[in-house]
Structure 1
């Protein structure tokens, strides 16, 4: 148990404090997963087979979607320009948030984020409006991607650990997620002002990705999910001892730590088949909502902030209070549903 606690501390804090670990997160988590499984004495052929198989679906989805996005980028850009000029901007903002949020479970959170960056580069919004729209859209993408095992690593890991079918998460949190995405679309329409930059300079930094970049990203996703599978299996003794007995409400708020740590990592460490659905739901909603608060919390945040040069302080000024309000609203809804 002491070894697992040490590994957990390394997983929680090194990616946030050591640059070389942050830049090589996939390899780091893969190594930590091996260490956790070895400490728990479950590093056997069966676990290796599972770790090799689990990432295949999401990896193929990321690879295929990456190629399609590269090939269709130019007509997609023209379509965005045409649609944005033919409908009111408030409606366009709402559609961007809602459509990307809902599609992220099919095209993956990564591709949804790249489409978002493309849309933002076409619009050339004033800085504050741009940041608000990006953050709201990333919250929606983070929510929607959790509905299927190909959407993002978090959902892949949960489906694998619980040995459930592909529609399990849709049944468990589909209503809450879809309503949340629609509400975020409405918020974008109401609170993002259609103010634009004076300069019409082209944003060359948002040019399409190379084939090498697509393949490298795909390999990283495979290693990332493989590492999380090993990590989750290795942490089963820790979960059974320290997490299973906690109240779902407490777990919900504890998972605000997802704002500074990748939520898939936390899901791998926390979720257990021994938990009831109420607890799993509280953990999952806490993770995917708070994951949008700060840049490191979610894949869409990292991609969008990196490509649009959004700083951590810029993100936090809007993302943290927005995410906190969403956490409170969802908490009231969860408690109310439980009481009914």
Structure 2
């Protein structure tokens, strides 16, 4: 069973980079892998399916994506005019800097889902070439992923951590708040720098959003499938986590948690976090999860929403996300374990 799960993990990690059909249908691929995973781990049952369907988060995320998508669809022209007005008053790089900081910090209260939907709509209206938008989106998703961990409202990872530790609302803000704020500022600065060096697109060359109402519903459905797939994958890999991962030293656990780039980090948190852990161990685990969550498309909800909206390929995302993630992982490892800041 364990060998089968390891092989499945490798397939999920590498296949999207080499098979275009998988890359273009990532949500359905992950769903199929989730089904195979729970069969391999002998956890497929009607009770499991019923449990997933009873998960309110599944419907909350889907309806949030659907409603926000419809609002953006019907008010597209007004949003475009507002962004044009703002970017005429301030530079585009300053505008992007402010947007990423606001979305990163507010994601802990409006949730990472709403923050990422706002990001995709704003970026669509930016007079920038696709390559620049791609870089800004990946950087922004890192910021949103970090910011959402400030409070238990932002994302399931934070909710489960607070619950497992029986901690107060602002525990994570105290534990890793400084790292989160610094990272959000860093991502905003990098995005502004990317925009400053980019080639701007004239209004006449700007490609209008041709997304129809069917596309809005399809995106919401894909998000539903994606969240369902994460539930399946989390359940499938739990025996592997219980047998090997949770017994590791905090320093090793920090790097091993890079698997949250493809496995639901909320599931990892549920399996790993314990109230008997030290603050250092909790910091290491949470930082490892949220950093690696930005490295690949399946790592976080903001990634999958943004990648779907802009048709970002797995290789394109990884080309930007993996180097940034590895650098952040190395920096925080030194800070937490070597310098013990």
Instruction: Tell me, yes or no, whether TM beats 0.5.
Output: yes
Structure 2 match to 1:289: 291
Given the alignment of the two structures, is residue 225 of structure 1 paired with residue 227 of structure 2, yes or no?
Answer: yes
Q: Label 1:158 to 1:185 Cα distance change in 2 as closer, same or farther (>3 A).
A: closer
Structure 1 match to 2:244: 242
Residues in 1 aligned to 2:34 and 2:162: alpha-carbon distance in whole angstroms: 18
* CA displacement at 1:97 relative to structure 2: 1.2
Q: Tell me, what secondary structure is at the counterpart of 1:204?
A: coil
| Residue pair 1:162, 1:272 contacting (<8 A) in 2 also | no
User: Deviations 1:278-331 (Å, cap 9, x if unpaired)?
Assistant: 556434422332444466755555665676687878766765544443333333
| Residue pair 2:93, 2:192 contacting (<8 A) in 1 also | yes
Q: Label 1:126 to 1:59 Cα distance change in 2 as closer, same or farther (>3 A).
A: closer
Residues in 1 aligned to 2:317 and 2:49: alpha-carbon distance in whole angstroms: 38
Residues in 1 aligned to 2:268 and 2:293: alpha-carbon distance in whole angstroms: 15
| Residue pair 2:161, 2:270 contacting (<8 A) in 1 also | yes
Residues in 1 aligned to 2:185 and 2:113: alpha-carbon distance in whole angstroms: 20
Given the alignment of the two structures, is residue 193 of structure 1 paired with residue 196 of structure 2, yes or no?
Answer: yes
| Residue pair 2:8, 2:33 contacting (<8 A) in 1 also | yes
Q: Tell me, what secondary structure is at the counterpart of 1:201?
A: helix
User: Deviations 1:53-79 (Å, cap 9, x if unpaired)?
Assistant: 221221222222222222232222222
Structure 2 match to 1:38: 39
| Residue pair 1:229, 1:268 contacting (<8 A) in 2 also | no
* CA displacement at 1:210 relative to structure 2: 1.9
Question: RMSD across aligned C-alpha pairs, in angstroms?
Answer: 4.0
Structure 1 match to 2:18: 17
Q: Label 1:170 to 1:66 Cα distance change in 2 as closer, same or farther (>3 A).
A: farther
* CA displacement at 1:213 relative to structure 2: 1.3
**What TM-score, normalized to structure 1?**
0.75
Query: Residue 103 of structure 2 is aligned with which of 100, 106, 109?
Result: 100
Larger deviation: 95-104 or 112-121? 112-121
* CA displacement at 1:199 relative to structure 2: 3.7
Query: Residue 139 of structure 1 is aligned with which of 130, 138, 142?
Result: 142
Q: Label 1:30 to 1:191 Cα distance change in 2 as closer, same or farther (>3 A).
A: closer
Structure 2 match to 1:331: 333
Query: Residue 267 of structure 1 is aligned with which of 248, 265, 269?
Result: 265
Structure 1: segments with no counterpart, 5+ residues: none
Structure 2 match to 1:56: 59
Structure 2 match to 1:203: 206
Structure 1 match to 2:74: 71
**What TM-score, normalized to structure 2?**
0.75
Q: Label 1:60 to 1:107 Cα distance change in 2 as closer, same or farther (>3 A).
A: farther
User: Deviations 1:237-264 (Å, cap 9, x if unpaired)?
Assistant: 2111111122232233344566xxxx35
Q: Tell me, what secondary structure is at the counterpart of 1:56?
A: helix
Matches within 5 A, 1:173-184: 173-184=176-187
Given the alignment of the two structures, is residue 81 of structure 1 paired with residue 84 of structure 2, yes or no?
Answer: yes
| Residue pair 1:40, 1:234 contacting (<8 A) in 2 also | yes
User: Deviations 1:113-138 (Å, cap 9, x if unpaired)?
Assistant: 45445444544247776565444323
Larger deviation: 5-14 or 113-122? 113-122
Structure 2: segments with no counterpart, 5+ residues: none
Structure 2 match to 1:91: 94
* CA displacement at 1:222 relative to structure 2: 1.6
Q: Tell me, what secondary structure is at the counterpart of 2:244?
A: helix
* CA displacement at 1:44 relative to structure 2: 3.5
Aligned residues: 331
Matches within 5 A, 1:107-118: 109=112, 112-113=115-116, 115-118=118-121
| Residue pair 2:12, 2:33 contacting (<8 A) in 1 also | yes
Residues in 1 aligned to 2:79 and 2:63: alpha-carbon distance in whole angstroms: 22
Q: Tell me, what secondary structure is at the counterpart of 2:271?
A: coil
